[in-house]
């Protein structure tokens, strides 16, 4: 019974745009575990026992949290399902401190990628990819799924991204020109594959390929890292893009609203709330905020 309920629950949530890769494995495993315990409904004791099999506290909280969401769904029609308490605490991880690149470090990163390895095209591939991530704020999966037909005179067509949304991402003329220069050499490298970015094996990239190349470039330029310091990742380029866009935001309240809505649409967020998550205080932002507050206390109109 629980096995069928799990599949029904997953189907409903996937229809809403959620991928649920890890969640599906958790819940299917929980259903099998409950069946072995002779339970055909969600039982709090069994759920806590099953979640407690994980080694880390964070993993235990996450597993139980998935069951709690599942139980809420089932209880709408059948009150026989118990709603487990959050025995292991919140399943949400504390928000990691993002790494914000300076313009100079972005240039150094791209330069390092263009000099890594011993073959010309992979160097150009990674340097072009990192430059594209930096100037568009694309997610890594969005960038590595790009195909030739997605590059238009109006920008990049991002198809079926997060929550199955598609959008058009305009490109600055310099970014368009840089992409075209790369494609002139790329097209003959793997003519039977229309992915924009391909690996040494002439196959589409995996996220881990990008992460490995990124770490190599970061190590080469010697970015400061260590305990307590934010860790630079490929996603940091997207975060940096969002923060720099906020720094360029005008002061007028109505203009700020329009600016945030435009940025949210550009980044492919389902709600503006997701865009605010990206925005992190930087020295420039704090200086502007301090100046605005000082003017406010003096009665100066913006």
Q: Where are the domains positioned within the chain?
A: 2-75, 103-221, 235-297
Catalytic residue list contains 184: no
Which residue of the set 28, 147, 159, 162 is catalytic?
162
Q: Could you tell me which CATH number the domain at 103-221 has?
A: 1.10.443.10
* pLDDT, tens digit only, all 302 positions of the chain: 788 999 999 998 888 777 777 888 889 999 999 999 999 999 999 999 999 998 888 888 889 999 999 999 999 999 999 999 988 777 666 667 788 899 999 999 999 998 876 567 788 899 999 999 999 999 999 999 999 999 999 999 998 776 667 899 999 999 999 999 999 988 888 888 899 998 877 778 888 989 999 999 999 998 876 666 788 999 999 999 988 888 887 776 677 778 888 888 888 887 777 777 776 667 777 777 777 777 778 776 65
Catalytic residue list contains 235: yes
- pLDDT score for 301: 64
Catalytic residue list contains 108: no
Task: Report d(CA 249, CA 256) in Å as an integer.
Answer: 6
Catalytic residue list contains 238: yes
Q: What angle do CA 134, 135, 136 make, to 5 degrees?
A: 100
Question: How many beta carbons lie within 10 A of that of residue 65, not counting itself?
Answer: 20
Catalytic residue list contains 278: yes
- pLDDT score for 302: 57
Catalytic residue list contains 244: no
- pLDDT score for 163: 63
């Amino acid at each position: 019974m629980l096995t069928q309920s799990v599949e029904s629950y997953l189907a409903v949530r996937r229809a809403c745009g959620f991928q649920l890769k890890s969640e599906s494995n958790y819940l299917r495993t929980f259903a099998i575990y409950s069946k072995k315990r002779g339970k055909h409904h969600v039982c709090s004791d069994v759920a806590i026992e099953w979640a407690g099999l994980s080694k880390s506290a964070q993993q235990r909280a996450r597993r139980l949290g998935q069951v709690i969401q599942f139980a809420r769904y089932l209880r709408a029609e059948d009150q026989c399902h118990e709603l487990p308490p959050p025995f292991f605490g919140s399943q949400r991880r504390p928000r990691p401190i993002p790494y914000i690149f300076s313009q100079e470090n972005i240039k150094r990163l791209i330069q390092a990628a263009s000099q890594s390895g011993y073959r010309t095209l992979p160097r150009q591939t990674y340097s072009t990819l990192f430059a594209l991530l930096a100037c568009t704020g694309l997610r890594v999966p969005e960038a590595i799924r790009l195909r030739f037909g997605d590059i238009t005179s109006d920008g990049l067509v991002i198809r079926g991204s997060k929550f199955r949304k598609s959008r058009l991402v305009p490109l600055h003329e310099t970014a368009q020109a840089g992409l075209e220069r790369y494609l002139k050499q790329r097209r003959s490298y793997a003519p039977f594959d229309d992915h924009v970015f391909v690996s040494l094996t002439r196959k589409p990239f995996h996220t881990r390929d990008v992460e490995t190349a990124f770490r190599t470039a970061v190590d080469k330029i010697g970015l400061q890292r260590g305990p307590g310091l934010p860790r630079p990742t490929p996603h940091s380029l997207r975060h940096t893009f969002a923060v720099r866009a906020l720094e360029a935001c005008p002061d007028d309240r109505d203009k700020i609203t329009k600016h945030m809505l435009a940025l949210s649409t550009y980044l492919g967020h389902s709600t503006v709330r997701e865009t605010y998550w990206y925005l992190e205080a930087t020295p420039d932002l704090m200086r502007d905020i301090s100046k605005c507050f000082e003017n406010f206390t003096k009665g100066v109109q913006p």
